Amino acid sequence: MDNDAKTGIKHWIPATILMICVVLAFFDKISIAVLFSDATFQHAMGIAQDKAKLGWLMTSFLLAYGFSSMFLSFLGDIFSPKKMLFWSVTSWGILMILMGFTTDYSTMLTLRVLLGLAEGPLFALAYTIVKQTYTDRQQARASTMFLLGTPIGAFLGFPITAFVLAHYDWHSTFFVMGAMTFVVLALIVYGLKDLQLKRTVDLEGVGKRVNFKTHLKNTQRLISNGAFWLLCIFNIALMTYLWGLNSWVPSYLIQDKGFNLKEFGIYSSLPFIAMLLGEVFGAFISDRWGRRAIQVSAGLLVAGIFMYLMVLAHDPMLVIVAMSLSAMAWGFGVAAVFALLARITTADVGATAGGIFNGLGNFASAAAPVVIGAIVMQTGSFNIGISFLAAVAVIGAFFLAPLLQRY
Provide the number of structural domains found in the chain: 1
Q: Each residue of 256-299: pLDDT tens digit?
A: 777 766 666 667 778 888 888 898 888 888 777 778 889 999 99
Give the CA angle between residues 207, 88, 192 to the nearest 5°.
65
Dihedral of alpha carbons 48, 50, 51, 57, sign? negative
* Residue 93's pLDDT band (cuts 50, 70, 90): very high
Q: What does the pLDDT read at residue 246? A: 78
Within a domain: 1: no
Instruction: Choose between 397 and 194: higher pLDDT.
Output: 397
The gap from C-alpha 102 to its chain's centroid, in whole angstroms, comes to 25
Per the CB < 8 A criterion, the answer to whether 369 and 58 are in contact is yes
Within a domain: 132: yes
- Amino acid letter at 233? I
pTM: 0.71
Within a domain: 31: yes
Within a domain: 2: no
The 8 Å CB, 24+ separation contacts for 318-327 are: 319/253, 319/257, 320/267, 320/270, 320/271, 323/249, 323/270, 323/271, 324/270, 324/271, 324/273, 324/274, 325/274, 326/271, 326/302, 327/151, 327/245, 327/271, 327/272, 327/274, 327/275, 327/278, 327/303
Spatial separation of the C-alpha atoms in residues 184 and 208, rounded to whole Å: 32
Within a domain: 3: no
- What's the CATH code of the domain at 197? 1.20.1250.20
Within a domain: 73: yes
Q: Each residue of 168-210: pLDDT tens digit?
A: 889 999 999 999 999 999 998 887 877 766 555 555 544 444 4
Q: What does the pLDDT read at residue 127? A: 77
Residue 309, C-beta contacts closer than 8 angstroms, at least 6 positions apart: 322, 326
Domain hosting 98: range is: 8-403
Within a domain: 337: yes
Average pLDDT rounded to a whole number, residues 146-154 = 79
Average pLDDT rounded to a whole number, residues 6-14 = 73
Q: What does the pLDDT read at residue 199? A: 56
Give the SS3 label for residue 345: coil
